[in-house]
Amino acid sequence: MTIQWFPGHMLETKNLLKKAISKVDIVFEVLDARLPDTSANPLVDNICKDRFRLKILNKMDLADPEHTQQWLEYFENRSIPAVSICGSHKDQVEAVLNYCTEKITRNRARKIKIMVIGIPNTGKSTLLNTLAGKKIAKTGNVPAVTRHQQRTSLENNIDIYDTPGILWPIIEPERKAFILAASGAISDTAIDYTEIAFFAADLLIHRYPDLLIQRYPFLDDIPDDPLNLIEKIGAARGCLKKGGMVDYQKASEALIRELRTGKIGRISFETPKDIEHDS
Ligand SMILES: Nc1nc2c(ncn2[C@@H]2O[C@H](COP(=O)(O)OP(=O)(O)OP(=O)(O)O)[C@@H](O)[C@H]2O)c(=O)[nH]1
Ligand SMILES: [Mg+2]
């Protein structure tokens, strides 16, 4: 499965970032803590090379805490500044801001400029709202909510810029496309739910069997086939076609919905070991 979803506003944002970056002091690279490698946009690496950049593993409440810890160690071992947070927790977000402003050499006559960047739906606008202490930017649990850059002035002579989430033109390898789609970073119009659910079911069977049993007590044992798991969930959730056959499309949507919202439990889609194996 190859996913291509690069609407016009993403290209515009990429060009805008390239132009604006030289005037930016700090980059908040907002990642999804469930996919800290895959949610890192390769375009950002190129654009933000010489800026102070903090990787913010947001939505840590949804990620497997053990894997988040491994990711933080992974970044620390490579001297890459990284933290994990919940974007709506004021204390955590303010601690991030203070950490960054102390890291840079500050010219007090000039405002500090912070740019918040990342792929869609990682919580960039939420973080900005938390820092501002009010709902300035629109948020929502679908990708591409923010369509234009938005500046907000904070206390302490700081300007912060929220930007639209951007992906890259062709998402490869397939594993990354599946992870991004399962996490909710790609528009529903560009994905096939049944394929994504198959990928997610396989991950859950192999990595999170205990969570599956807790969430779906009707499972007597863990199916070894992802399709079988989707079928059982579909049957139990009443996702049926006329005649009583399981509707795989609806069953797949139900599974993905429950996965994305954390109802199945705290799940990470990748670990540092996975990407070390890949390279
Ligand atoms: N569980 C959880 N949800 C979060 C967190 N931060 C943000 N969200 C939710 O994630 C969804 C996306 O948040 P946004 O702030 O709109 O994300 P964004 O990165 O600005 O998205 P785009 O503008 O589309 O690129 C919303 O439903 C938020 O409530 C978090 O730390 N934990
Ligand atoms: Mg946004």
Give the residue extent of every domain in the chain.
8-162, 192-278
Rounded to two decimals, the pTM is 0.96
The SS3 call for residue 117 is: strand
Instruction: Give the fold, CATH level 3, of 192-278.
Output: Conserved Hypothetical Protein Ylqf; Chain: A; domain 2 (1.10.1580)
Ligand of minimum distance to the alpha carbon of 167: 1
Rounded distance between C-alpha atoms, residue 66 and residue 190, angstroms: 32
Q: Is the CB of 9 under 6 A from ligand 1?
A: no
Ramachandran angles phi, psi of 161, nearest 5°: -115, 120
Return the pLDDT at 188: 86
Question: How far is the centre of ligand 1, averaged over its atoms, from the C-alpha of 53 (Å)?
Answer: 20
Mutation pick for ligand 1 pocket among 56, 126, 166 (CB with most ligand atoms within 8 Å): 126
Is 212's C-beta closer than 6 angstroms to any atom of ligand 1? no
pLDDT at residue 97 in the model: 96
Cα gap 41→10, rounded to integer Å: 12
Question: CA dist 26 to 74, 155, 200, Å?
Answer: 22, 16, 35
Ligand 1: nearest atom to the Cα of 144: 24
Cis peptide before 173 (omega within 30 of 0): yes
Q: What is the pLDDT along the chain (279 residues), one digit of tens a residue?
A: 777 888 889 888 999 999 999 999 999 999 999 999 999 999 888 898 889 999 999 999 999 999 999 999 999 999 999 999 999 999 999 999 999 999 888 777 789 999 999 999 999 999 999 999 999 999 999 898 989 999 999 988 999 999 999 999 888 899 999 999 999 999 988 889 999 999 999 999 999 999 999 999 999 899 999 999 999 999 999 999 999 999 999 999 999 999 999 999 999 999 999 988 766
Report the pLDDT value the prediction gives residue 257, as an integer from 0 to 100. Answer: 96
Q: Is 139 in the pocket of ligand 1 (CB under 6 A)?
A: yes
CB-CB contact of 25 with 52 (8 Å): yes
- d(CA 53, CA 194) in angstroms, rounded, equals 37
206 secondary structure, DSSP code: H
Same fold, 8-162 and 192-278: no
Mark the residues whose beta carbon lies below 5 A from ion ligand 2.
124-125, 145-146
Q: Answer yes or no: is the C-beta of 143 below 6 A from any ligand 1 atom.
A: yes
pLDDT for position 279: 61
Q: Is the CB of 61 under 6 A from ligand 1?
A: yes
Q: Are 29 and 118 in contact (CB under 8 A)?
A: yes
In the chain, DSSP assigns E strands to: 26-32, 52-58, 82-84, 112-117, 150-154, 158-162
Report, in angstroms and rounded to the nearest whole number, the Rg of the chain calculated over CA atoms.
20
Please say whether the structural domain 8-162 has been given the CATH code 3.40.50.300: yes
